[in-house]
């Protein structure tokens, strides 16, 4: 068993576990994104993969992608080490992958390009990747398109997290908890807004003039957490100043303006 040590590996795996993506069966929107990528790049394999501690799980795919792959054999293990698209033009000439069983045998991968799924600064939980049985180039415009599609995947991940958060809120309201002090701003929305802005918790705390611990309590899904309504308002204002707005009477959705 290979041990993957990095500064954020623990946080990365915790985020993957909390989002409950591996076990979830809801992937219709992810399938649509994969289909768009496959048609655009005309590759034999297109997949959304989640990188767990020892396994890479295929969440959605077109072509002969494995359902799951040992992490040490996966190209995606390299992709999550970068914030940009990772490209292998010809795996047979690549020192790390030339003897890979997926290169020497079916599906005979030669070309690979993967965009990391970045849900928070330096937290990459998986990839949107394309692969082919023939070597090929990959232009800057291709990099931009694959990156854009990966951003759509991350958007769907956060939307799912927001929706699941509101299911929990509805249940807790039924159980008698009072959410009025949260000003309709919940943990999932704060995490999603931070991800859209590429803000760390410390960055948000600085912009909102609140403590790091306040934000951690809000993001912990603890319905009994005591947080002043003024602090929540300051967080909302910090997001809005940066171009993130929570819309609708209940503030369920959030949008990012183009500056």
Measure the CA dihedral 13/15/19/20, to 10°. Answer: 20
Residue-wise pLDDT for 90-132, tens only, equals 999 999 999 999 999 999 999 999 999 998 888 899 999 999 9
151 and 184 both lie in a single domain: no
62 — pLDDT class (breaks 50, 70, 90): very high
Is residue 168 assigned to a domain? no
Is residue 186 assigned to a domain? yes
CATH number, domain with residue 191: 1.10.260.40
pLDDT of 176 above 60:
no
148 and 231 both lie in a single domain: no
Residue-wise pLDDT for 124-147, tens only, equals 999 999 999 999 999 999 999 999
pLDDT of 181 above 60:
no
Positive or negative torsion for Cα 23, 28, 33, 38: positive
**Residue 75 near residue 97, CB atoms below 8 Å:** yes
DSSP code at position 72: G
154 and 182 both lie in a single domain: no
Distance of alpha carbon 214 from alpha carbon 235, whole angstroms: 10
Name the more confident of 189 and 138: 138
16 and 137 both lie in a single domain: yes
φ/ψ (deg, to 5) at 27: -145, 20
Name the more confident of 196 and 123: 123
Model pLDDT, residue 171: 43
Domain of 77?
9-158
């Amino acid at each position: 068993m290979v041990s993957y040590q990095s500064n954020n590996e623990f946080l990365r795996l915790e985020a993957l576990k909390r989002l409950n993506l591996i076990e979830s069966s809801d992937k219709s929107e992810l399938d649509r994104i994969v289909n768009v990528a496959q048609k655009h790049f005309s590759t034999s394999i297109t997949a959304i993969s989640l990188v767990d501690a020892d396994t890479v799980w295929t969440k959605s795919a077109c072509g002969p992608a494995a359902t799951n792959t040992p992490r040490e054999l996966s190209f995606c293990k390299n992709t999550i080490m970068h914030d940009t698209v990772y490209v292998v033009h010809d795996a047979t000439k690549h020192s790390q992958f030339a003897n890979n069983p997926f290169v020497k045998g079916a599906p005979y991968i030669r070309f690979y390009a993967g965009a990391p799924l970045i849900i928070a600064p330096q937290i990459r939980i998986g990839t949107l990747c394309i692969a082919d049985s023939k070597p090929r180039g990959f232009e800057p415009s291709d990099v931009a398109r694959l990156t854009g599609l990966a951003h759509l995947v991350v958007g769907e991940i956060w939307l799912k997290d927001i929706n699941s958060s509101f299911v929990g809120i509805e249940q807790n309201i039924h159980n008698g908890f009072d959410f009025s002090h949260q000003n309709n701003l919940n943990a999932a929305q704060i995490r999603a807004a931070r991800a859209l802005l590429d803000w760390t918790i410390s960055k948000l705390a600085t912009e909102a003039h609140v403590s790091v611990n306040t934000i951690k309590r809000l993001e912990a899904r603890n319905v009994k957490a005591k947080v002043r309504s003024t602090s929540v308002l300051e967080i909302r204002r910090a997001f809005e100043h940066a171009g993130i707005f929570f819309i609708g009477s209940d503030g369920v959705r959030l949008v990012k303006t183009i500056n």
